[in-house]
Structure 1
Amino acid sequence: MHIEIHGLQAIDAPTLVLSSGLGGVSGFWQPQLAVLCERYRVVLYDQRGTGRSAEAIPEGYSLPMMAAELATALAQQGIERYSLIGHALGGLIGLQLALDYPQQLERLVVINGWISLHPHTQRCFRVRQDLLLNVGVEAFVRAQPLFLYPAEWMAQHQRRIAEEDAHLVQHFQGTENLLRRLHALMQADFSAAINQIDHPVWIVASQDDLLVPWSCSDALARALPNASLHYMPSGGHAMSVTEPETFNRLLLQWLSVTSALPV
C-alpha cells in the first residue's frame, strides 16, 4: 500500500490519517494538507486497487479487509495510535477501525457517511455502475462530478473538471477493482454494532449532497454514544474540496477541543 507521511516528524507527534472515498487516492486531500501539516503528522495513502496501490482486488472484498489493510500498513510504518479523517467510504473504514482496532484509533471524523446504505445512495451507485458496464469508463468518469459537486461550483470550474476527467480516465482503477470496492461499500452495515463505538466522532454533512442525504449523518450521530454533528449548508458531497476554508476551520476547531480516547 502506498503511504506518504507529511508534516511533523517527531515520533510522538499527533497523527492524522486521511482516508478518501470510492476514488481511493490521496490526492483528494490536497485542500487540507498544508493546514493540517502545520500541527500534525499527516498520513496519506492510496487504498488497495487504486492509484499507486494498484493491484487486483480479490473476490469477496469487504470493509473489514479495508480496515485491516490500513491498520497493518500503519503498524509497518511504526504508527500505532492515530486519529482518522474519512470521506464517505473513508469514514466507514474509520468506523470499522473503531470496532476492530479500538486501541489504535484515537478520534474519528466522518464526512457524509452512513450507518447502512440509503435507498437514494443505492440508486446513485447503481446508475454509476450501469454507466460503467453499459457505456464505458469515460461516461462513468464524466458523470462522477455530478454526484460530487454543486452545479454552480462545477460551472465555475469547468477547466479543472475537464482536467480531472482526463486524469481519471488515464489512471482508472479498473472495472473489476471498482466494482468489488463498490460492492464492499454497498454491503457495509453498522446497525448491529454502532453503539459499541465510544470514540469521539465528529460527523459533518452537506445539506446539498446529491449522493448521500444529510439524514444519514443525523442517524449516525444519534446512534453513536460520543458524537457531535455539524451541517454545512452547501458544498455538495465533496464539500472539503468545494468549501475548503470553511471545512478546514471547522475541522481544526474540533480537533483542538476534542481529547483522544485514552488507551
Structure 2
Amino acid sequence: MYVEISGLRDNDAPTLVLSAGLGGSGQFWLPQLAVLQKQFRVVQYDQRGTGRSQDTLPETYHLTDMAAELANALAEHDITHFDIMGHALGGLIGMQLALDYPQRVNRIVVINGWLSLHAHTRRCFQVRQDLLRHVGVEAFVRAQPLFLYPADWMAEHAERIEAEDALNLAHFQGTDNLLRRLQALMKADFRPLAASLHHPVLAICSQDDLLVPWHCSVALQAALPDASLLTLPRGGHAMSVTEADHFNNLLLNWLSDTATPRFSQAG
C-alpha cells in the first residue's frame, strides 16, 4: 500500500495519519499539509484498490479489512502510536482501528462521519451506484462534486472542478473496487461498539453537507464516551477543502487542547 511520510522527521514526533473518504487518495489532504507538517509527522496513504495502491478487492471486503491493511502498512514503517484523522469513510476506518488496535491509536478526528448509515445518505449512495452501473463512469465522476461541495463554491471554482473531473476519470479506481468499498462503508454500524471506544474523538461536521446530514455527527458524539463536536455552518461534505483555513484552525486548536490518553503509550 502506498504510504507517504512528511513533516517532522524525528521518530518520536507526534504522528498524524490522514485517511481519505470513498475516493481513497491521500491527495485529498493537500489543503491541510502545510500547517500539519509544522507540528506532526504526517502520514498520507492511498487506500487499497485506489490511486497508487492498485489491487483487486475481494467481494467480501469489510471495514475491518481496511483497518487491518492500514495498521499493517503503518507497522511496516515502524509507526506504532498515532493520531488519525479521517473524512467520512476514513473516519470510520479510524474508529475501527481504535477498536481493533486500541493501544496504537491516540486520538481520532472524524469529519462528516456517522454512527450508522442514515437513510438520506443511503439514498445518495444508491443514486451514485445507479449512475455507475447504468450510465457509466463519466456520469458517476461528474456527479461526485455535487455531493462534496456547496453550489456557490462550485460555481466560483468551475475550472478546478473540471480539472478534478478529468483527473478522477483518468485515475478511476474501477467499478468493482468502488462498489465493494461502498458496500463495506454502507454496512458499517458502530452502534453496538460505541461504548467501547474510549479514545478522545473529535466529530466535526458541516450543516450544509448534502451527503451526510450534520446531525449524524451529533448522534456520533453523543454515543461515544469521550467525544467533542464542532459544527461549521457551511462548507459541504468536503469542508476541509472549501473552508480549509477555518477547518485547519479548529483542528489544530482541538489537537493542542486535547491530551493524548495514557493507555495509548502501552503495548
Q: Which of the five TM-score ranges fits, normalised by the shorter chain?
A: over 0.9
Give the superposition deviation at 1:45. Answer: 0.1
Which residue in the other structure is 2:65 paired with? 65
2:101 partner letter: Y
Q: How far apart are 1:261 and its partner, in Å?
A: 1.6
Letter matched to residue 120 of structure 1: H
Residue aligned with 2:117, SS = coil
TM superposition shift of 1:215: 1.0
**1: CA distance between counterparts of 2:261 and 2:96?**
16
The equivalent residue for 1:223 is 223
Q: Deviations over 1:107-137 (max 9, x none)?
A: 0000000011000000000000000000000
Provide, for residues 115-164 of structure 1, a one-character-per-residue CA deviation record: whole Å limited to 9, x for no partner.
11000000000000000000000000000000000000000000000000
Structure 2's unaligned 5+ residue stretches are none
Q: Deviations over 1:206-261 (max 9, x none)?
A: 00000000110000000001000010000000000000000000000000111112
Letter in 1 for 2:122: Q
1:72-91 per-position Cα deviation (integer Å, ceiling 9, x unaligned)? 10001000000000000000
1:196 maps to a residue whose letter is: S
What corresponds to 2:134 in structure 1? Answer: 134
The corresponding residue for 2:52 is 52
- Structure 1 equivalent of residue 86 of structure 2: 86
Deviation at 1:165, TM superposition (A): 0.2
Runs of at least 5 residues in structure 1 that lack an aligned partner in the other structure: none
How many Å separate the matches in 1 of 2:255 and 2:216? 23
Distance 2:79 2:132 in 1: 37
Residue identity matched to 2:39: R
Hey, what does 1:124 align to over in structure 2?
A: 124
1:252 aligns with 2:241: no
Q: Secondary structure at the match of 2:262?
A: coil
One-letter code of the match for 2:172? F
Q: Which structure 1 residue ranges, 4+ long, deviate > 4 Å from structure 2?
A: none
1:233 corresponding residue in structure 2? 233
**Aligned positions of 1:1-263 closer than 5 A:** 1-263=1-263
CA offset at residue 54 of structure 1? 1.1
TM superposition shift of 1:262: 1.4
The CA deviation at 1:103 is 0.3
Q: Which amino acid aligns with 2:158?
A: Q
Counterpart-to-counterpart distance in 1, 2:55 and 2:262: 36
Amino acid across the alignment from 2:227: A
AA matched with 2:42 = V
CA distance in 2, matches of 1:103, 1:258: 17
- TM superposition score normalised by structure 1: 0.99
Equivalent-residue separation in structure 2 for 1:262 and 1:72 (angstroms): 23
- Report the RMSD for the aligned CA atoms in angstroms: 0.4
TM-score (norm 2): 0.98
Query: Equivalents in 1 of 2:224, 2:67: separation in Å?
Result: 19
> Percent sequence identity over matched residues?
66
Distance 2:171 2:5 in 1: 23
Distance in 2 (alpha carbons) for counterparts of 1:134 and 1:260: 47
